Amino acid sequence: KREGNIMSINVNGSTAELPTDARVSLLDFLRDHLQLYGSKKGCDQGACGACTVLVDGERILSCLALAVQCDGRKITTVEGLADGNALHALQQAFIDHDGFQCGYCTPGQICSAIGMAKEAKRGVPSSVSADLAADVTLTREELQERMSGNLCRCGAHNGIIDAIRETMAAEMAE
Ligand code: FES
Ligand code: FES
């Protein structure tokens, strides 16, 4: 939302003024300007997914976006998912299924999975979808492909996929 010449975005329900320096990435803005350290900088070049956040509900790599590009948009980071002390169902499922070890990739995995489910719901196919026009069934193979942009160097991928499958069980009949 633009107020006069001030550019602003909404982050987890709060309005924040965007930086005047147009070179600041969305990731650096979140971490260094707003002290929201949940979104991680793994590679800073679009290769690892650790910086994934939701912009108007769509998953993006915040290291590859400029903060000023998000003028007027609504950003959700991992800090914005819980309801008070009640974790988001997917956060709880990551705990239940040992979906992490060091936790560095986890915020990006969780934001990515939420955006991924939305894409699947509106029928966006992946490269392993046999029928591009069919409704998406989130099988394990589909989930592995759709989450392949989020790397976990601890190798917790099986737990991550289990957590996502359980949380979105209704959509994931194999
Ligand atoms: Fe953005 Fe790795 S830090 S993809
Ligand atoms: Fe360590 Fe994924 S839990 S990188």
Confidence of residue 168 (pLDDT cuts 50, 70, 90): confident
- 3 state SS of 76: strand
For residue 153, give the ligand nearest its CA. Answer: 2
Please compute the mean of the pLDDT values over residues 108-126 and round it to a whole number. 96
Picking from 104, 112, 102, the residue whose alpha carbon sits closest to that of residue 62 is 112
- Both structure tokens of 38: 């949940």
Q: What is the pLDDT of residues 9-45, one digit of tens each?
A: 999 999 999 999 999 999 999 999 999 999 999 999 9
Report percent pLDDT > 70 for the chain: 94
Q: How far apart are CA 113 and CA 93, in angstroms?
A: 12
Q: What is the pLDDT of residues 133-156, one digit of tens each?
A: 999 999 999 999 999 999 999 999
Confidence of residue 6 (pLDDT cuts 50, 70, 90): confident
- 3 state SS of 143: helix
- pTM here is 0.94
- Both structure tokens of 13: 């329900």
Q: How far apart are CA 60 and CA 31, in angstroms?
A: 16
Beta carbon of 63 within 6 Å of any ligand 1 atom: yes
Mean pLDDT over each residue of the chain, to the nearest integer = 94
Q: Which of 45, 55, 147 to mutate to test the pocket of ligand 1 (most atoms within 8 A of CB)?
A: 45
Confidence of residue 174 (pLDDT cuts 50, 70, 90): very low
* pLDDT at residue 9, as a whole number: 96
Give first-to-last CA distance, the chain, whole Å.
Answer: 43
Q: Which is the closest atom of ligand 1 to the Cα of 52?
A: 1
Q: How far is CA 125 from CA 48, 59, 76, 134, in A?
A: 21, 16, 24, 8
Burial class (CB in 10 A: 0-12, 13-18, 19+), 1: exposed
Q: What is the pLDDT of residues 155-165, one digit of tens each?
A: 999 999 999 99
